[in-house]
């Protein structure tokens, strides 16, 4: 696999976050990703999954998180200054409203098209809120309509105020079909709530994000050796034996989620006016996840047992991208001497193993020998994680990120 040009200075005294060589490399990588995924837009306004080469794969159901993440990613791209982002945002917003939205029962179905699934999951709905907030920040004319609709659905169908957390899953006509409660939807719910607060200034979004973070970061993490349990009962008690979908709900703990949640906790602290010193919990989550899951040959193990031992050693791209985002946030807000080396190590591994320098985009998984493979994923199904990893380090801000990108001379 070919390597890109040098991705940053070798000088250990210069942080890559202010290194012109690294920042230029990030700008080029972000542009390459946006260019690679732009042809996924179909003539009917939906989005194809792309093969490694960039050719569209045979069409299957279009899932809600795909539509919403494309809106969010190209809204970021527009703020970054990339060209031709509006057609993606416009198409995604129309497809979301005309195809995913259920005009009879309200809410948004999980997937459309061949073998579509009308299940209504919190995981998908919080991404609708993220898309709406990002579209509003990008100035889309339909963003307020979408924001009002999804806020009402989340408030009346998913938010459990007695717990301060989101419930998970319903049938199309809003019948609960399991007692499952999970961290993943709430983590992405935190991400969406913070974005909605930035887009609207409405305090309820910041307050609800804080309640979710209090449960997981303040209560659950220290009680479980700074490893976050993923799965819970209807009463929000840890369900240690749960094993569901091997991609979305694997057994055990998922260190990539610890990295992601830690970044969100620091962003919440920043948006809340930085009261006191930076909270200690996010750093402890990040350091524990990397201590447990960084493998001898590099990369982050997908899942751990509850004692921190590796359960599934498969190496996917997204935990590395979340590690990059987490370390960039530490470097911006509360750096310690080891953070720069860890940030560089993550980027070196991503550059050597996940980035396709010939075609663009990132390979989503590598095998035991470090080569791209297709066991869990086919093609290149995602821009969201890898694009954010390239854009987060480009500006010194950790919050109000789209506005910061728009102000900066990010395109060189």
Query: Which residues are known catalytic residues?
Result: 257, 385
Q: By three-state DSSP, how is residue 365 classified?
A: strand
Q: Is 346 helix (H, G, I), strand (E, B) or coil?
A: helix
- CA–CA separation, 308 and 129 (whole Å): 33
Compute the distance between CA of residue 194 and CA of residue 205 in angstroms, rounded to an integer. 6
- Give, in order, the Cα–Cα distances in Å from 142 to each of 72, 92, 127, 138, 177: 14, 11, 16, 11, 32
CA separation for the pair 371, 354 (Å, rounded): 9
Contact 3, 351 (CB under 8 A): yes
Give the count of alpha carbons within 13 A of 32, CB side only: 17
Measured at the CA of 161, the angle between CA 211 and CA 202, to 5 degrees, comes to 60
**169: its two tokens:** 């899953």
List the structure tokens of 325: 């985002």
What is residue 103's DSSP assignment?
T
The closest alpha carbon to 193, from 232, 228, 164, belongs to 164
- Taking the C-alpha atoms of residue 141 and residue 149, their distance in angstroms, rounded to an integer, is 14
**DSSP letters of 218-267?**
IIIHHHTTT----EE-TTS-B-TT----TTTS-SSB-HHHHHHHHHHHHH
List CB contacts of 409: < 8 A, sequence separation 6 or more: none
Instruction: Compute the distance between CA of residue 59 and CA of residue 51 in angstroms, rounded to an integer.
Output: 12
Q: Contact, 362 vs 325, CB < 8 A?
A: no
- For residues 17 and 27, what is the distance between their CA atoms, to the nearest angstrom? 12
C-alpha to C-alpha distance for 254 and 289, rounded to whole angstroms: 9
Pair 231, 182: CB distance under 8 Å: yes
């Amino acid at each position: 696999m070919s390597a890109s040009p040098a991705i940053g200075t070798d000088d250990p005294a210069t942080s890559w976050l202010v290194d012109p060589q690294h920042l230029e490399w990030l700008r080029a990588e972000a542009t390459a990703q946006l260019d690679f995924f732009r042809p996924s837009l179909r003539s009917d306004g939906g989005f194809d999954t792309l093969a490694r080469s960039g050719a569209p794969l045979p069409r299957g159901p279009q899932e809600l998180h795909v539509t919403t993440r494309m809106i969010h990613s190209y809204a970021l791209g527009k703020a970054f200054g990339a060209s031709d982002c509006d057609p993606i945002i416009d198409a995604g917003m129309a497809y979301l409203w005309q195809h995913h939205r259920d005009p009879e029962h309200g809410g948004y179905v999980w997937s459309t098209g061949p073998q579509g699934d009308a299940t209504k999951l919190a995981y998908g709905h919080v991404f609708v809120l993220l898309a709406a907030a990002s579209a509003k920040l990008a100035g889309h004319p339909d963003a307020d309509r979408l924001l009002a609709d999804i806020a009402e659905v989340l408030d009346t169908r998913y938010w459990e105020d007695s717990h301060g957390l989101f419930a998970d899953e319903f049938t199309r006509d809003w019948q609960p079909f399991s007692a499952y409660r999970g961290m993943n939807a709430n983590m992405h719910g935190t991400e969406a709530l913070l974005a909605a607060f930035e887009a609207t200034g409405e305090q309820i979004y910041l307050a609800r994000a804080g309640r979710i973070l209090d449960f997981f970061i303040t209560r659950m993490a220290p009680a479980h050796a700074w490893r976050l349990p993923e799965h819970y009962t209807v009463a929000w008690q840890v369900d240690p034996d749960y094993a569901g979908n091997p991609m979305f709900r694997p057994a055990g703990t998922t260190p990539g989620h610890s990295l992601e949640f830690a970044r969100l906790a620091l962003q919440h602290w920043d948006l809340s006016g930085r009261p006191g010193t930076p909270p200690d919990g996010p750093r402890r989550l990040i350091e524990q996840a990397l201590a447990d899951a960084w493998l001898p040959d590099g990369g982050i193990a997908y899942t751990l047992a509850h004692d921190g031992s590796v359960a599934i050693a498969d190496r996917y791209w997204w935990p590395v991208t979340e590690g990059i985002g987490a370390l960039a946030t530490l470097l911006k807000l509360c750096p310690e001497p080891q953070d720069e080396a860890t940030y560089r190590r993550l980027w070196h591994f991503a550059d050597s193993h996940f980035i396709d320098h010939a075609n663009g985009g990132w390979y989503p998984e590598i095998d035991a020998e470090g080569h791209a493979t297709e066991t869990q994923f086919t093609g290149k199904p995602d821009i969201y994680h890898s694009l954010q990893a390239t854009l987060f380090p480009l500006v010194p801000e950790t919050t109000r990120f789209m506005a910061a990108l728009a102000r900066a001379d990010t395109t060189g």
